[in-house]
A = this chain, B = another copy of it.
Amino acid sequence: MVAAVDVRGGGPGTRETDALDPRNLVPRIEAVVLTGGSAYGLDAASGVAGWLEDHGRGFRVGPDPAQVVPVVPAAALFDLGRGGDWRARPDAALGRAAAEAAAATGPGAPVAEGNTGAGTGAVAGGVKGGTGTASAVLPSGVTVAALAAVNAAGSFADPRTGALYGLPDAAPPDPEVHTAALRRLAEARETSRARFAASVRPPLNTTLAVVATDAVLTRAQAQKLAGTAHDGLARAVRPVHLLSDGDTVFALSTATRPLVPEETVVADPAFGVHVEAGALNDILAVGADVLTRAVVRAALTAETVDGPGGHFPSYRDLYGG
């Protein structure tokens, strides 16, 4: 895949992101890793790299086809201690297992959501976060999809009403339900504080996301997409991109469909740049939108965790179905 990244949060934990700068050498990558465990969890990428090497996949660096170096960009979110064990973190073995599991899926396989993957220990504004995904198909036939692991200093729900920021058209929760939810959330925070003395206050966070398309993008165009996708995050989480977040978005292009349909007629070549710009603009706009929707999915599929690391109620538990 063509890949790019835009790091917008103030406390990022990343690996191999400099290799994605469009000026740099490696043109394609084989995998991206989103992980928990803060900077420690970046070790998961080592396991993915090992699996890729075993399968001869990576950036070719020598005459023997086995001489590859897999460039595996990775980003970590902060969830240390949320399971009750400060030292429980994704490692290389977990990364290898994730690569094996991914390789075992076929095209179109459903993507797990909720308390899974990098979203396992995710929390946003005291409410359980998680992993969510959403996609859209443009009139041009181009597909744009997003996956997010939502873990934020801010919240995906308006603290005044309980309404999800990413669903502005939905009716807000009943005020009585919201009042009860705020009370339960405050109690859960107290429980978490009492239960796990080593929990981090104020919490550290980071939302991670991938936006992908089948349209052919240059690496620079992919980087633009990664940047504008952050707008979708800004609409779904508030506040966002703080110093205590390390919000990072990767953009991927599988490059199987022309950005501008081949049959497109450009009347005036001197003005033709705007045709390509328009096609990319459509992808940028919907890239932000699907990321907003992926955050909403994460909020709605996450499940309450009540364990040794704390009590993190889910949005659905607080506000219903």
Give chain A's interface residues, CB within 8 Å of chain B: 8, 10, 153-154, 168, 202, 224, 227-228, 230-232, 234-235, 238-244, 274, 277-278, 280-281, 284-285, 288
**This chain: copies in complex:** 2
Chain B residues within 8 Å of A243, by CB: 224, 277, 280-281, 284
Which residue of the partner chain, among B228, B235, B238, contacts A241 with CB atoms under 8 Å? B228
Chain B residues within 8 Å of A230, by CB: 231, 234
Q: Do the beta carbons of A288 and B168 come within 8 Å of each other?
A: no
How distant is A233 from chain B, measured CB to nearest CB, in Å?
8
A278 to B153: give the CA distance in the assembly, Å: 11
Q: Do the beta carbons of B241 and A227 come within 8 Å of each other?
A: yes
Measured CB to CB, the nearest residue on chain B to A168 is B168
Measured CB to CB, the nearest residue on chain B to A279 is B243
Known contacts A231-B239, A235-B238, A243-B281; 7 further A-B pairs (Cβ under 8 A)? A153-B281, A202-B274, A224-B243, A228-B240, A228-B241, A234-B234, A241-B284
Measured CB to CB, the nearest residue on chain B to A10 is B224
Q: Do the beta carbons of B227 and A281 come within 8 Å of each other?
A: no
Chain B residues within 8 Å of A168, by CB: 168
Question: If the complex has contacts A10-B277, A202-B274, A281-B153, are A240 and B244 also in contact, measured as CB distance less than 8 A?
Answer: no
Chain A to chain B contacts (Cβ below 8 Å), 18 pairs: A10-B224, A202-B274, A228-B239, A230-B231, A230-B234, A231-B240, A231-B241, A232-B234, A235-B238, A238-B285, A239-B281, A239-B284, A239-B288, A242-B277, A242-B284, A243-B277, A243-B284, A244-B277
Q: Do the beta carbons of B242 and A281 come within 8 Å of each other?
A: yes
Measured CB to CB, the nearest residue on chain B to A224 is B10
How distant is A168 from chain B, measured CB to nearest CB, in Å?
5
How distant is A156 from chain B, measured CB to nearest CB, in Å?
14
